Amino acid sequence: MRKRQVLISGGAGFIGSHLCDYYIQRGYKVWCIDNLCTSSIENIKHLGNLSDFKFIQEDLITFKTSLLKHKFDMVFHLASPASPPDYFRLPLETLKVNSLGTEKMLEIAKMSEAKFLFSSTSEVYGDPTISPQPEIYWGNVNPVGPRSVYDEGKRYGEALVMAYHRKYRVNTRIIRIFNTYGERMRLNDGRVIPNFIAQILDSKPLTIYGDGKQTRSFCYVDDLIKGITKMIEVDYHLPVNLGNPDEFTILQLAEVIQKITGIKAQIEFLPPLEDDPKQRRPDISKAKELLHWEPKVSLEEGLTKTLNYFRSLVPPPQWNRKQKKGGCRNETGRIR
In a domain, 34, yes or no: yes
Cβ pair 238, 172 in contact under 8 A? no
Q: pLDDT at position 331, please? A: 40
Which runs of consecutive H residues, i.e. helices, occur in 83-147? 84-89, 91-112
**Quick one: angle between helices 192-201 and 250-261, nearest 10?**
40
In a domain, 307, yes or no: yes
Q: pLDDT at position 328, please? A: 63
Q: pLDDT at position 190, please? A: 86
Whole-structure pTM value? 0.92
In a domain, 328, yes or no: no
pLDDT in tens, 48-72: 999 999 999 999 999 988 878 889 9
In a domain, 329, yes or no: no
Based on the residue annotation, tell me whether 150 is a catalytic residue of this protein.
yes
Statement: residue 193 has pLDDT above 60: yes
Q: pLDDT at position 323, please? A: 38
In a domain, 334, yes or no: no
Q: CB neighbours (10 Å) of residue 159?
A: 12
Q: Single out the catalytic residue among 28, 125, 150, 220.
A: 150
Q: What angle do CA 94, 95, 97 make, to 5 degrees?
A: 65
In a domain, 126, yes or no: yes
CATH number for the domain that contains residue 29: 3.40.50.720
In a domain, 85, yes or no: yes
Q: What percentage of the chain reaches a pLDDT higher than 70? A: 93
In a domain, 150, yes or no: yes
Beta-sheet strands, E only, within the chain:
5-9, 29-34, 53-57, 74-77, 115-121, 171-177, 180-181, 206-209, 215-217, 219-220, 239-242, 247-249, 267-270, 334-335
In the chain, the number of structural domains is: 1
- What's the mean pLDDT in 15-23? 98
Domain interval for residue 88: 5-322
